[in-house]
C-alpha cells in the first residue's frame, strides 16, 4: 500500500506537467504562414471597365476616386455609405488589414465615425454607423464623436459581439456591450492609418492600429475564446449627422492564416533555442532520454530505500546487523576519535 502511495506521489507531478504541457501547446499555436485572399481584398483603381468590382459592392452616398480611395461619406451632414464583400469569408483563421482615413476641415465638431463588420448579414443600412442594428457577428466601431461623458478620450475604437437580438448601446457609445476598446487619435494623422484584425477561431481576437508612425503597431485589445459566425461577410459603413467627416477606405487586404501544429511549434522553438545556444535537435532528444532515465533512477532508489527500511525494522532497528557491529567497533576504539574534532 505504501509503495502505491509513494509511486502516486512521484507520478502525480509528471501528470500535472504533462497536462499543462498539452494546454501550453494549444495556447502556443501561432500563425505559420498567410495566404492572400483576392476575393476579399481591394486596392486602387477599385473598379473594372464596367464601373463595378467583381468581389465588392458599394452603395448609398459612397463613391469611388479610382486613384485614391472609396469615400463612404463626405464631410457633409446626414450622409451614409457602405462597402461590402459579395462573398462570405470561409477561412476559419484570418488576418484583415485595412488602410483608412478619417479627415475633415473642422477641428472641433466632427463625427460620427465608421464601422468594420464581420457579420452574417450584409448591405443592410441602419442607424449603427450606417448599418443595421441587432446584427449577428462582430462590429468594430471607429467612433469619433462622444454621445455622453466618459473617463476616456475620443476618437475611440470599440468592439461588440452581436447575437442578433441585442441592440447597440448608441446613447453610451457602445459601452454597455463592449467586447474590447481603446482610445487612439487616428483622425487627421501625418502617417497612413491602418487597422489589423487577427482572428483565430475559438482562441483569440486581436486588434492593432497604426497611427503614430509608419510600421509602428499599437495593441488596442485582445480577447480570448472568441467565436465569430461561420463564413461572415466583410463590411464597412460610415455615418454623419449634424457633425461630419470624410470617411475613406484606401485598401483592404485579407489573409487566410495557416496555423502551426503543436508539435511543429515545439520543434520551431527548440530549433531556435538550439541555433542560439549551439544545441542540435538530436541533443534535445538525448536530454529527453536523460530525464527519463533520471526519473526511473529516482523511482528505483525510492523502492530500494523502502526495502532497506523494512528490512531494518524487521531486525529490530539499528542495533543489529552491520550497523550494530560498526557501532560496537566505534565504541571499542574509546578516545581514539574525538567527536569535537569533527
Rg of the chain on CA atoms, in Å: 33
C-alpha to C-alpha distance for 75 and 103, rounded to whole angstroms: 8
CA–CA separation, 252 and 44 (whole Å) = 10
Beta bridge partners of 31: 259
Q: How many other C-beta atoms are found inside a 10 Å radius of the C-beta of residue 57?
A: 15
Work out the pLDDT band at 288, boundaries 50, 70, 90: low
Peptide bond into 45 cis (omega under 30): yes
Helix (H) or strand (E) holding 3: helix 2-27
- The residues with which 182 forms a beta bridge, in sequence order, are 157
Determine contact, residues 116/235, Cβ cutoff 8 Å: yes
Q: Which CATH number does 31-259 carry?
A: 2.60.120.200
Q: Domain extents for the chain?
A: 2-23+264-327, 31-259
- pTM for the whole structure: 0.69
pLDDT tens digits along 68-117? 999 999 999 999 999 999 999 999 999 999 999 999 887 778 889 999 99
As beta bridge partners, residue 248 has: 71, 101
| Model pLDDT for residues 64-73, shown as the tens digit of each residue | 999 899 999 9
Amino acid at each position: 500500500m505504501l509503495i502505491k502511495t509513494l509511486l502516486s506521489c512521484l507520478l502525480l507531478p509528471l501528470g500535472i506537467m504533462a497536462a499543462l504541457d498539452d494546454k501550453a501547446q494549444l495556447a502556443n499555436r501561432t500563425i505559420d504562414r498567410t495566404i492572400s485572399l483576392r476575393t476579399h481584398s481591394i486596392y486602387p483603381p477599385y473598379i473594372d471597365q464596367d464601373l463595378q468590382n467583381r468581389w465588392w459592392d458599394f452603395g448609398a452616398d459612397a463613391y469611388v476616386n479610382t486613384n485614391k480611395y472609396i469615400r463612404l461619406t463626405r464631410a457633409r451632414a446626414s450622409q451614409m455609405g457602405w462597402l461590402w464583400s459579395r462573398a462570405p469569408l470561409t477561412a476559419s483563421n484570418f488576418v484583415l488589414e485595412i488602410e483608412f482615413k478619417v479627415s475633415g476641415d473642422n477641428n472641433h465638431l466632427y463625427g460620427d465615425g465608421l464601422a468594420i463588420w464581420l457579420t452574417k448579414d450584409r448591405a443592410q443600412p441602419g442607424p449603427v454607423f450606417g448599418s443595421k442594428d441587432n446584427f449577428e457577428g462582430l462590429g468594430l466601431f471607429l467612433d469619433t464623436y462622444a454621445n455622453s461623458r466618459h473617463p476616456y478620450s475620443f476618437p475611440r475604437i470599440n468592439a461588440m459581439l452581436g447575437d442578433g437580438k441585442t441592440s447597440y448601446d448608441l446613447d453610451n457609445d457602445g459601452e454597455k456591450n463592449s467586447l474590447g476598446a481603446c482610445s487612439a487619435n487616428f483622425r487627421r494623422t501625418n502617417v497612413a492609418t491602418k487597422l489589423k484584425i487577427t482572428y483565430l477561431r475559438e482562441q483569440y481576437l486581436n486588434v492593432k492600429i497604426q497611427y503614430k508612425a509608419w510600421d509602428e503597431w499599437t495593441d488596442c485589445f485582445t480577447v480570448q475564446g472568441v467565436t465569430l459566425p461561420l463564413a461572415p461577410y466583410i463590411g464597412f459603413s460610415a455615418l454623419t449627422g449634424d457633425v461630419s467627416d470624410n470617411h475613406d477606405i484606401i485598401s483592404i487586404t485579407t489573409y487566410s492564416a495557416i496555423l502551426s501544429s503543436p508539435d511543429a511549434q515545439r520543434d520551431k522553438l527548440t530549433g531556435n533555442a538550439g541555433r542560439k545556444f549551439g544545441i542540435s535537435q538530436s541533443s534535445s532528444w538525448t536530454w529527453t532520454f536523460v530525464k527519463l532515465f533520471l526519473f526511473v533512477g529516482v523511482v528505483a532508489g525510492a523502492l530500494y530505500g523502502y526495502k532497506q527500511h523494512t528490512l531494518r525494522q524487521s531486525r529490530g532497528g539499528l542495533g543489529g546487523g552491520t550497523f550494530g557491529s560498526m557501532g560496537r567497533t566505534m565504541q571499542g576504539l574509546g578516545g581514539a576519535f574525538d567527536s569535537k574534532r569533527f
